[in-house]
Structure 1
Amino acid sequence: MNFNHEELTLMMLYNTGTRMGLIHELRLMQCYLMPDETALRELSEGVIEKLKLLTDAEFGELEFPPD
């Protein structure tokens, strides 16, 4: 799974150390977005969808922070 720089940065900010924890934190963050924050909502939704496709082992191989 390829994540771009923006996606990796968002993941780094909300990373709890587990794939499911990160998905949960991103969902919580979305609850606080204003209606006009569509770019961040779309970015976070895309990250969540990609994370759902990863296994926990694959998530563990991701490197934070992005270089």
Structure 2
Amino acid sequence: MHFTVEEENLICMYHNADRRRTISRLTAALPDMDGDMRVMARQTLSKLERMTDADYDGQKFHYTEE
């Protein structure tokens, strides 16, 4: 699965021990996000939901400062 730099940064902010917990933390934060951030978060969640746990565990997520 390919993630943009912005999506990877978002995942890093809400990253937890496994894919399902990361999805849960990101979903819980949706109400506090503005419109553009919410759109990106939903896009990221969609990609995370389509991944398997094994794919997630094998993925390296890196926070990139711009």
* Match in the other structure for 2:23: 23
Letter in 2 for 1:5: V
**Alpha-carbon displacement from aligned partner over 1:13-51 (angstroms, at most 9, x marks no partner):** 100121110110111111223xxx111000100011001
Amino acid of the structure 2 residue aligned with 1:65: H
Partner Cα distance (1:10, 1:50) in 2: 12
Q: Which has the higher helix share?
A: 2
* Cα RMSD after superposing both structures: 1.2
Q: Which residue of 2 aligns with 1:43?
A: 40
Percent identical across equivalent pairs? 25
> CA separation in 2, counterparts of 1:66 and 1:28?
21
Distance 1:64 1:2 in 2: 11
| Stretches of structure 2 lacking an aligned partner (at least 5 in a row) | none
* Structure 1 residue ranges without an equivalent (≥5): none
Q: Secondary structure at the match of 1:3?
A: coil
Runs of 4 or more off by more than 4 Å in structure 1?
none
Q: What TM-score comes out, normalization by structure 2 length?
A: 0.88
